[in-house]
Structure 1
Amino acid sequence: MADVLPLVEARLRSALGEPDARAAVTFLGTDRIEVLRFQEAGIVRYASLGMSAHPMTDPTVVVADPVKGPRAELVLSVRAGLAETDKVLRPLAVLAASPQVEGLVVAPGASLDVGEPLWPGAPFTSVLVAEPGGLVEDLELDEPLDPVRFLPLLPMTPNEAAWKRVHGAQALQEKWLNSGTDLRDPSRKSVPLE
């Protein structure tokens, strides 16, 4: 069976261009997770590389299937030059390692929390996992492997995260849309929640 990660990196490059930086993080008991940085027209994108090497497995399953199961990578987009967003590399790698470390299945609508600001001075400690397919198309793999999905991450303030737990991801996304929220602004304030 072919290694998935070179195919994933090729898909990221074809969608986002050449990365201008990359960093690698290894956590005890996990495979290496890389974070690639892409810059284009005032937007910087950070993409994980390594999360899709193995399928995500439901933690309630007694024996994990080493082949079948959802695969994903994470993509975070922010406006360049407004904050020290390059410090997001480690928190993003932590999120990408969560399926291996915590047995999470990361899917659209989920909240992921790192418990600290995503970068110095960031008003966000968590992200909302959005629907894939807009920025980077799914990568189809040979049967029986599931495709790799590239999941956009939308930073949430603690108030937004709490509101989302009560009202749901769709309701929060509608609040953002109705308020004209710039989700790429690395220092934006919380959307008005009533």
Structure 2
Amino acid sequence: MADVLPLVEARLRTALGEPDARAAVTFLGTDRVEVLRFTEEDVVRYATLGMSAHPMNDPTAMVADPVKGPRAELVLSVRRGVADTDKALRPLAVLAASPQVEGVVVAPGGSLDVGEPLWPGAPFTSVLVGEPGGLVEDLELDDPLDPVRFLPLLPMTPNEAAWKRVHGAQALQERWLARGTDLRDPLRRPVALD
């Protein structure tokens, strides 16, 4: 079976250009996860590379399937030059390793929490997982492998995360849209939730 990571990196380069930096993190008992940085004029994007090496499996399954199951990588987009967002590399690697470490299946509408600011001074400790297919198209793999989906991450403040748990991901996204929230602003204030 072919290694999917070179194909994933090629898809990221096709969609986002050449990365201008990369960092690797290895957690005890997990495979290495890299985070690639892609810089445009006023936006910097961070994409994980390594999460899709293995399929994500239902944590309640008796045996993990080594072939079938969803595969994904994470993409975070923020405004450039406003905050020290390069410090988000380790938290992003932690989130990408969560399927291996915690046995979670990362999917659109879900929340991921790192328990600390995503970067110094960030008002966000968690992210909402967005729908794939916008920025980076899914990467189809040979049968029987599931495609790799590139999931955008939308930073949430603790209050937004709590509100999302009660009202749902769709309601929070509608609130952001109705209020004109700039989700790429690394220092944005929480959206009004009243």
Query: Where on the TM-score scale, by shorter chain, does this alignment land: which range?
Result: over 0.9
**Secondary structure of the equivalent of 2:99?**
helix
CA distance in 1, matches of 2:99, 2:145: 17
Q: What does residue 82 of structure 2 align with?
A: 82
For 1:118-142, what per-residue CA distance to the aligned partner results, in whole angstroms no more than 9, with x for missing partners? 0000000000000000000000000
Q: What does residue 26 of structure 2 align with?
A: 26
For 1:29-83, what per-residue CA distance to the aligned partner results, in whole angstroms no more than 9, with x for missing partners? 0000000000012100000000000000001000111000000000000000000
Q: What does residue 123 of structure 1 align with?
A: 123
Unpaired segments ≥5 residues, structure 2: none
Unpaired segments ≥5 residues, structure 1: none
TM-score by length of 1: 1.00
The answer to whether 1:6 aligns with 2:25 is no
The answer to whether 1:162 aligns with 2:162 is yes
Question: What's the % identity of the aligned pairs?
Answer: 87
Q: How does 1:173-184 map to 2 (within 5 A)?
A: 173-184=173-184
Please tell me the root mean square deviation across aligned C-alpha atoms, in Å.
0.3
**Secondary structure of the equivalent of 2:173?**
helix
CA distance in 2, matches of 1:112, 1:65: 23
State the number of aligned residues. 194
Amino acid at match of 2:118: L
Amino acid at match of 2:114: V
CA distance in 1, matches of 2:107, 2:145: 17
**Secondary structure of the equivalent of 2:117?**
coil
Alpha-carbon offset, residue 14 of structure 1: 0.1
Q: What does residue 62 of structure 2 align with?
A: 62
CA distance in 2, matches of 1:147, 1:111: 21
**Secondary structure of the equivalent of 2:24?**
strand
The answer to whether 1:17 aligns with 2:17 is yes
Q: What does residue 136 of structure 1 align with?
A: 136
For 1:139-166, what per-residue CA distance to the aligned partner results, in whole angstroms no more than 9, with x for missing partners? 0000000000000000000000000000
Q: What does residue 105 of structure 1 align with?
A: 105
Amino acid at match of 1:158: P
Amino acid at match of 1:114: V
CA distance in 2, matches of 1:103, 1:64: 10
CA distance in 1, matches of 2:55, 2:36: 21
The answer to whether 1:190 aligns with 2:175 is no
Alpha-carbon offset, residue 8 of structure 1: 0.1
